């Protein structure tokens, strides 16, 4: 496959954009080679600057559950754009989207729109601190909650791919109130809260961890966190930037039947436009300005284009058959991958929930990963060969051994079958490494 134009664009980009990319996960640091420059996309496909076509399992890192450029979403964006792209004032569309979110997610009584997942999580943390009058935060290693200072300790895939522990430029003071504990280890949370429970504002968690490959919560872990938060007066924040509207209209919290106090959203909620949101119990949410003393604001927040794209997307997701049909596709895809793995003596382990999947390059592994320490034992060299083979066969996955993939409603059965065949070949190529 020729990638001359991508290569040239990368050279030009490196002169004017640090590392040639607008977000580090787009660089090919974990797999070698130059990043792809993408030009256009439709349905399940992306096309690069050299006009190569790939079946896409990145889906813009999660938002594109309907695939690329779905008719209804594009029509809504076009129509809305003709009426003006931004007002910095209240609009009908944000009320409609807020109503839809509160209907779908029972723990969310009120919601505030922002422009990214990072903004959602950093605002939710400030709100939790303002509401409880406490400073400390418990997070879990390998979980990513955006790039705000307080969250950048053991922050999962992006930093793991680059092989750096956290980030320069985070003052000690900004991170000193963050306590990082192992995922799925309820005892360590209990022990921590027993000593300093009255200083902890919140526990934040990805209810399914999707930024350290994929780690599922063990039975009892999420209910245990709920109970401990209630005992110690801390708020439970579910970061559903990935799982929100991905695992069903009610996200992971409905899937596992746990009610967090606050939830953060991003990605799907904006239908592929820049958006984020945080919401939860009305008494907590009313602590935000202008009703309360916690300040958070945004010129483009509730932007009409993003609201229109989000509304059109959630409309499609509300069709009764949407999630069952996506699950059917994803489970038959997973069955195909598992057959390919078994036929080759399990060179990797497939973890999946709904339409999110992760191939953990851990030969001979027959049980799922429990935490970040487990995940880090993945064989990144083998992954790099697997990645290149898939790319050369026209399959686009995230360029990191620590990222998940997404099936969208635009993937047809024949494309999924073709992908399974390509995965078999890529596994064979990686076996020699």
The span of 138-146, 170-178, 183-191, 288-296 binding ligand PMP (CB under 6 A) equals 138-146
**38/185 Cα distance (integer angstroms):** 40
Residue 206 found at the interface with ligand PMP (CB under 6 A): yes
Residue nearest to ligand PMP (CB): 117
CB 152 within 8 A of CB 170: yes
The span of 13-21, 87-95, 115-123, 216-224 binding ligand PMP (CB under 6 A) equals 115-123
**3/316 Cα distance (integer angstroms):** 36
Q: Which two tokens stand for residue 251?
A: 């996200």
Residue from 211, 351, 355, 379 in contact with ligand PMP (CB under 6 A): 211
The span of 7-15, 29-37, 117-125, 193-201 binding ligand PMP (CB under 6 A) equals 117-125
Residue from 44, 266, 302, 369 in contact with ligand PMP (CB under 6 A): 266
Residue 207 found at the interface with ligand PMP (CB under 6 A): no
The distance of closest approach from Cβ of residue 115 to ligand PMP in the complex, given in angstroms and rounded to an integer, is 8
Strand partners, 139: 180
213 or 347: whose CB is closer to ligand PMP? 213
Strand partners, 203: 138, 236
Active-site residue flag, 329:
no
Q: Is 102 left (phi over 0), alpha (psi -120 to 50) or beta?
A: alpha
Q: How many residues bind ligand PMP (CB under 6 A)?
A: 15
Residue 146 found at the interface with ligand PMP (CB under 6 A): yes
Residues from 83 through 112 that contact ligand PMP (CB under 6 A): none
Show Cβ contacts of residue 386 under 8 Å, excluding neighbours closer than 6 positions.
359, 361, 426, 427, 429, 430
The distance of closest approach from Cβ of residue 240 to ligand PMP in the complex, given in angstroms and rounded to an integer, is 8
70 or 266: whose CB is closer to ligand PMP? 266
Report the 3 state secondary structure along 182-202. CCCCHHHHHHHHHHHHHHEEE
Residue 241 found at the interface with ligand PMP (CB under 6 A): yes
The distance of closest approach from Cβ of residue 118 to ligand PMP in the complex, given in angstroms and rounded to an integer, is 3
Residue 116 found at the interface with ligand PMP (CB under 6 A): yes
Which of 144, 183, 278, 372 is flagged as catalytic?
144
Active-site residue flag, 239:
yes
Omega of the bond leading into 290 within 30 degrees of 0 (cis): yes
**165/153 Cα distance (integer angstroms):** 7
Residue 242 found at the interface with ligand PMP (CB under 6 A): yes
Show Cβ contacts of residue 373 under 8 Å, excluding neighbours closer than 6 positions.
141, 182
DSSP 11-50: HHHHHHSGGGSSSGGGS-TTT-SPPP-EEEEEBTEEEETT
Residue from 140, 144, 221, 245 in contact with ligand PMP (CB under 6 A): 144
239 or 374: whose CB is closer to ligand PMP? 239
The distance of closest approach from Cβ of residue 406 to ligand PMP in the complex, given in angstroms and rounded to an integer, is 12
Residue from 35, 63, 117, 270 in contact with ligand PMP (CB under 6 A): 117
Helical pair 413-431 and 380-392, crossing angle rounded to 10 deg: 130
Q: Which two tokens stand for residue 116?
A: 């990214």
* Burial label, 76 (beta-carbon count in 10 A; 0-12, 13-18, 19+): buried
Cβ-count burial 9-32 (b if 16+ within 10 Å, e if not): bbeebeeeeeebbeeebbbbbbbe
Nearest to 371 by CA among 246, 211, 152, 194: 211
List the x/- string, 177-196, binding to ligand PMP by CB under 6 A: --------------------
25 or 294: whose CB is closer to ligand PMP? 25
Q: Which residue, chain included where needed, has tokens 């996960």? A: 25
The span of 96-104, 176-184, 238-246, 354-362 binding ligand PMP (CB under 6 A) equals 238-246
Residue 118 found at the interface with ligand PMP (CB under 6 A): yes
Which of 239, 261, 323, 374 is flagged as catalytic?
239
The distance of closest approach from Cβ of residue 393 to ligand PMP in the complex, given in angstroms and rounded to an integer, is 26
CB 372 within 8 A of CB 348: no
The span of 89-97, 216-224, 239-247, 374-382 binding ligand PMP (CB under 6 A) equals 239-247
Active-site residue flag, 267:
yes
Residues from 10 through 69 that contact ligand PMP (CB under 6 A): 61
The CA-atom distances, in angstroms, between 283 and each of 14, 101, 124, 286 are 48, 17, 14, 5
Residue from 239, 261, 374, 403 in contact with ligand PMP (CB under 6 A): 239
Which of 267, 278, 349, 372 is flagged as catalytic?
267
Rg (CA), the chain: 21
3 state SS of 398: coil
Q: Which residues are catalytic?
A: 144, 239, 267
Binding site for ligand PMP (CB under 6 A): 61, 116-118, 121, 144-146, 206, 211, 239, 241-242, 266, 276
């Amino acid at each position: 496959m020729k990638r001359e134009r991508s290569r040239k664009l990368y050279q030009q980009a490196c002169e004017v954009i640090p590392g040639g990319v607008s977000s580090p996960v787009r660089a090919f640091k974990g797999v070698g080679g130059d990043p792809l420059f993408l030009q256009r996309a439709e349905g399940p496909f992306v096309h690069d600057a050299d006009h190569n076509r790939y079946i896409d399992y990145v889906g813009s890192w999660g938002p594109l559950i309907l695939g690329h450029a779905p008719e209804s979403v594009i029509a809504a964006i076009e129509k809305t754009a003709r009426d003006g792209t931004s007002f910095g004032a209240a609009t009908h569309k944000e009320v409609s989207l807020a109503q839809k979110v509160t209907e779908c997610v029972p723990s969310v009584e009120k919601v505030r729109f922002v422009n990214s997942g990072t903004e959602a999580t950093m605002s939710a943390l400030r709100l939790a601190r303002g509401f409880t009058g406490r400073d400390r935060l418990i997070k879990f290693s390998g979980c990513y909650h955006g790039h705000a200072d307080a969250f950048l300790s053991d922050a999962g895939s992006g930093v793991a791919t680059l092989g750096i522990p956290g980030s320069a430029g985070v003052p000690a003071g900004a991170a000193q109130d963050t306590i990082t504990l192992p995922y799925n280890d309820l005892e360590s949370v209990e022990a921590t809260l027993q000593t300093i429970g009255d200083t902890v504002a919140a526990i934040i968690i990805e209810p399914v961890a999707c930024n350290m490959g994929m780690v599922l919560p063990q039975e009892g872990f999420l209910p245990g966190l709920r109970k401990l938060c209630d005992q110690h007066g801390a708020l439970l924040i579910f970061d559903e930037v990935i799982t929100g509207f991905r695992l069903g209209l009610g996200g992971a919290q409905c899937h596992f039947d746990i009610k967090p106090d606050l939830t953060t959203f991003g990605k799907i909620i904006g239908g592929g436009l820049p958006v984020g949101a945080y919401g939860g119990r009305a008494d907590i949410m009313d602590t935000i300005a202008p009703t309360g003393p916690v300040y958070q604001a945004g010129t483009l927040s509730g932007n009409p284009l993003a609201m229109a794209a989000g509304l059109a997307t959630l409309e499609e997701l509300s069709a009764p058959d949407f999630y069952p049909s996506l699950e059917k596709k994803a489970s038959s895809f997973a069955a195909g991958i598992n057959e390919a793995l078994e036929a080759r003596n399990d060179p990797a382990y497939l973890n999946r929930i709904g339409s999110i999947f992760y191939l953990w390059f851990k030969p001979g592994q027959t049980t799922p990963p429990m935490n970040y320490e487990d995940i880090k034992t993945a064989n990144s060299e083998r992954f790099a060969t697997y990645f290149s083979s898939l790319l050369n066969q026209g399959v686009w996955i995230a360029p990191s051994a620590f990222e998940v993939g997404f099936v969208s409603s635009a993937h047809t059965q024949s494309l999924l079958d073709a992908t399974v065949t390509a995965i078999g070949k890529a596994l064979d190529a990686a076996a020699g490494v």
